[in-house]
Amino acid sequence: EPEVTQTPSHQVTQMGQEVILRCVPISNHLYFYWYRQILGQKVEFLVSFYNNEISEKSEIFDDQFSVERPDGSNFTLKIRSTKLEDSAMYFCASSEQGNNQPQHFGDGTRLSIL
């Protein structure tokens, strides 16, 4: 069964450094998402991406964050200047289309900011 893959599984970065989290969504999916889960808290929506542009973003997704689909297969989340509070598990998800489709999640990248 096709799956969403995320790399790396764990990323350790110094505060203030840039970090790029990578995702390969399921190949025939059209909608892409990033979520984050701070330790002990709920999964929070960050951004959705469709037709090569951001379709919606949350308050968390400020100017420090950006997403890109550079080559038709990868979907990346960049944090420009990381802060301690960016430490979390980041999940990528994809879905086929429409508003009744389940999202398929990757195993996540644990981001630790030192």
- Using rule CB under 8 A, residue 101 touches other proteins: yes
Distance CA 33, CA 54 (A): 9
- DSSP bridge pairs for 12: 112
| Among the listed residues 56, 57, 1, the one whose alpha carbon sits nearest the alpha carbon of residue 26 | 1
Spell out a b/e string for 16-29, using b for 16 or more CB atoms within 10 Å of the CB, else e: eeebebbbbbbeeb
**Among the listed residues 26, 61, 104, 111, the single contact to other proteins using CB under 8 A:** 104
Q: How far is the CB of 96 from other proteins (least distance, A)?
A: 10
Distance CA 70, CA 111 (A): 22
Distance CA 42, CA 70 (A): 29
**Among the listed residues 45, 64, 66, 74, the single contact to other proteins using CB under 8 A:** 45
Residues that bind other proteins (rule: CB under 8 A) add up to a total of: 28
User: In terms of CB distance, is 33 or 82 closer to other proteins?
Assistant: 33
**Among the listed residues 13, 24, 50, 60, the single contact to other proteins using CB under 8 A:** 50
Using CB under 8 A, list all residues that contact other proteins.
Answer: 4, 6, 31, 33, 35, 41-45, 48, 50, 55-56, 91, 93, 95, 98-108
